[in-house]
DNA sequence: AGCTGTCGACGAACGCCGTTCGTCACAACG
DNA sequence: CGTTGTGACGAACGGCGTTCGTCGACAGCT
């Protein structure tokens, strides 16, 4: 009809050539994942919607569904790309504990370097994407190199991954805009709670609200790795 | 106009008297929280919306905002009510480790007895509601009774709470409809992944997918509590 | 008793969201 | 040159949390 005439009948070189399709670089999984990660970095997880990703690519939300299936799948892909940057080293029985700690620190840093992306990691708890499985595989190798039996290593990798993603999420919600303001708000709140009902919490307010760098994270890390090591033959010394 | 005429002009006894306001029991925070918890129990967190809560109470979503402020606040109230049922015992230095474990098991059970309510607990990580703070207070007392210094106890209560809510959430997503079908699906998936890239995971599939009751949870619990105990003077024996 | 002020209830609407559908331009292929 | 398949895309669907303005009922005062 009219539309057909005005569309195909129109001089195509008007929008053909090298001008009309300047940003018509074809969509792809990779471009979509990159755009999504860019949005998370710039505006946080709350701003990440299919419409927003489409807009970032100069198109609409519907176009994305030819490549990603669902938002959940997109989040998995974004997470996997972040995990892809984590470098893995082969397990060394002599220093497996430090290797494990290092790997978890790196994973945590990778998550925290993308705003509150850790929120997605908490929900998608079971690692099914390639690079997430690479990390689990490497960690399993380290735990086994440390002499842990199969079941302990299996539970251990689950426990360590849970701890890392959960603390990363916790840290990302805390330090949202500015960490110091959050700490102050918390301390103010502590000053208002009734001391007679919560004697412990009020008297320990300083210790409870302390948040110096990664001290909290390292504290749990030490306990977990040491606890796992003690399960190994000769590891309890 | 028409509506005014049909409302005030209409015989009020038609809907007045003792019949028209049969369910017009006035709204209240408590009734709203109860309704929300009922919905979570019956249909899960996905079904919990302000509109759905309103419907449960024979009204609309807008009416709720005179009592709860936001959905987030409602979730906090629901969580707090669940925490209210957890019974706390005074700290006993002689058996503090078992007390802590017991308290965490009870908390986990409380969360798991309400479908996937644990999802809300993961997001609202910092306990600010009264009963949540009661639990933290009790746990702090137990850790201090065990001889832990202030900072260790403070980090410890955070670590233990994080572990409990995170594992509860994990468990609630797994056993959504029926746990066995989930396990089978996982095992099927393991059979498809390439053994040459993931030799550890494929060879340890049985250990990784094992999920016998609370064995997983108890495994981490033992490590954490033992690890904390070792921080206390004389606890490392 | 009558008036008035206050407040809860509530329908409607706003601006989002994820996702689906039908259409349509266009490139590759016969 | 025709056919066919495929990705892009606008529009729409149903749902969400929340806000706004109105309205009715009741408390307290005169």
- Per-residue confidence (pLDDT) for residue A49, from 0 to 100: 98
Contacts of B6 (CB under 8 A, 6+ apart): none
The pLDDT-based confidence of B175 (bands split at 50, 70, 90) is low
The answer to whether A159 faces chain B, any CB pair under 8 Å, is yes
Q: What is the pLDDT of residues A138-191, one digit of tens each?
A: 999 999 999 999 999 999 999 999 999 999 999 998 765 566 778 788 888 888
Cα distance between residue A224 and residue B210, in whole Å? 20
DSSP state of B236: T
The pLDDT-based confidence of B184 (bands split at 50, 70, 90) is confident
State both tokens at B101.
């474990």
Q: What is the pLDDT of residues B43-94, one digit of tens each?
A: 999 999 999 999 999 999 999 999 999 999 999 999 999 999 999 999 999 9
| B104 to A89, A234, B83, B98: CA distances (angstroms) | 36, 30, 12, 10
B227, pLDDT greater than 90? yes
What length does chain A have? 237
DSSP state of A196: T
Residue bearing the bigger pLDDT, B13 or B172: B172
- Per-residue confidence (pLDDT) for residue B42, from 0 to 100: 97
B23, pLDDT greater than 50? no
State both tokens at B203.
């060879």
Q: What is the pLDDT of residues B99-156, one digit of tens each?
A: 999 999 999 999 999 999 999 999 887 889 999 999 999 999 999 999 999 999 999 9
The pLDDT-based confidence of B182 (bands split at 50, 70, 90) is confident
C-alpha of B179 from chain center: 19
Instruction: Find, among B145, B43, B164, the residue nearest to B103 by Cα.
Output: B164
- DSSP for B2-61, please give it: HHHHHHHSS-GGGT-TTTS-SS-PPP-HHHHHHHHHHHHHHH-GGG--HHHHHHHTTS-S
- Per-residue confidence (pLDDT) for residue A233, from 0 to 100: 87
Structure-token match 């938002």, residue found:
A71
Given a contact cutoff of 8 angstroms between Cβ atoms, the answer to whether A187 and A205 are in contact is yes
A15, pLDDT greater than 90? no
Structure-token match 């409380």, residue found:
B110
A223, pLDDT greater than 80? yes
The pLDDT-based confidence of A22 (bands split at 50, 70, 90) is very low
**Closest Cβ opposite residue B204 in set A150, A167, A222:** A150
B177, pLDDT greater than 60? no
State the CB neighbour count (10 A cutoff) for residue A18.
6
% of chain A residues with pLDDT over 70: 86
Q: Which of residues 42-81 of A touch B (CB under 8 A)?
A: none
- Per-residue confidence (pLDDT) for residue A10, from 0 to 100: 33
Given a contact cutoff of 8 angstroms between Cβ atoms, the answer to whether B96 and B146 are in contact is yes
- Per-residue confidence (pLDDT) for residue A114, from 0 to 100: 98
Cα distance between residue B195 and residue B201, in whole Å? 8
Cα distance between residue B146 and residue B235, in whole Å? 9
Contacts of A161 (CB under 8 A, 6+ apart): A125, A127, A136, A139
Contacts of B92 (CB under 8 A, 6+ apart): B99, B145
The pLDDT-based confidence of A237 (bands split at 50, 70, 90) is low
- Per-residue confidence (pLDDT) for residue A130, from 0 to 100: 96
C1' (C7) to CA (B56) span, angstroms: 23
Cα distance between residue B78 and residue B33, in whole Å? 6
C1' (C27) to CA (A2) span, angstroms: 24
Cα distance between residue A78 and residue A184, in whole Å? 33
CB contact under 8 A, A151 and B224: no
- Per-residue confidence (pLDDT) for residue B178, from 0 to 100: 60
Given a contact cutoff of 8 angstroms between Cβ atoms, the answer to whether A122 and A173 are in contact is no
Given a contact cutoff of 8 angstroms between Cβ atoms, the answer to whether A157 and A132 are in contact is no
- DSSP for A14-28, please give it: GTSTTTT-SS-----
Given a contact cutoff of 8 angstroms between Cβ atoms, the answer to whether B128 and B76 are in contact is yes
State both tokens at A15.
């929008």
Given a contact cutoff of 8 angstroms between Cβ atoms, the answer to whether B204 and A153 are in contact is yes
DSSP state of B66: G
Q: What is the pLDDT of residues A115-147, one digit of tens each?
A: 999 999 998 878 899 999 999 999 999 999 999
Q: Which of residues 172-201 of B touch A (CB under 8 A)?
A: 173, 186, 189, 193, 197-201
- Per-residue confidence (pLDDT) for residue B24, from 0 to 100: 59
- Per-residue confidence (pLDDT) for residue A24, from 0 to 100: 59
The pLDDT-based confidence of B176 (bands split at 50, 70, 90) is low
Given a contact cutoff of 8 angstroms between Cβ atoms, the answer to whether A209 and A183 are in contact is yes
φ, ψ of residue B191 to 5 degrees: the values are: -70, -15
Given a contact cutoff of 8 angstroms between Cβ atoms, the answer to whether B160 and B224 are in contact is yes
Contacts B167 to A, Cβ<8 Å: 162
Cα distance between residue B16 and residue B39, in whole Å? 31
């Amino acid at each position: 009809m009219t539309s057909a005439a005005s569309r195909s009948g129109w001089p195509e070189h008007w929008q053909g050539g090298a001008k009309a399709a300047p940003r018509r670089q074809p969509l792809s999984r990779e471009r979509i994942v990159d755009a999504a990660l860019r949005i998370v970095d710039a505006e946080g997880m709350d701003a990440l919607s299919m419409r927003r990703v489409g807009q970032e690519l100069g198109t609409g939300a519907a176009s994305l569904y030819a490549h990603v299936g669902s938002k959940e799948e997109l989040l998995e892909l974004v997470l996997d790309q972040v995990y892809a940057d984590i470098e893995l080293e082969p397990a060394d029985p002599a220093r497996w504990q430090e290797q494990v700690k290092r790997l978890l620190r790196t994973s945590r840093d990778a998550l925290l370097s993308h705003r509150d992306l850790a929120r997605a990691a908490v929900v998608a708890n079971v690692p099914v994407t390639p690079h997430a499985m690479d990390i689990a595989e490497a960690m399993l190798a380290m735990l086994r190199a440390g002499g842990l039996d199969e079941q302990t290593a299996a539970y251990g990798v689950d426990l360590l991954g849970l701890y890392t993603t959960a603390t990363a999420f916790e840290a990302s919600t805390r330090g949202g805009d500015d960490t110091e303001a959050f700490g102050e708000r918390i301390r103010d709140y502590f000053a208002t709670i009734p001391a007679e009902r919560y004697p412990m919490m009020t008297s320990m307010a300083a210790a409870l609200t302390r948040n110096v760098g990664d001290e909290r994270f390292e504290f749990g890390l030490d306990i977990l790795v040491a606890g796992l090591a003690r399960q190994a033959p000769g590891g309890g010394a």
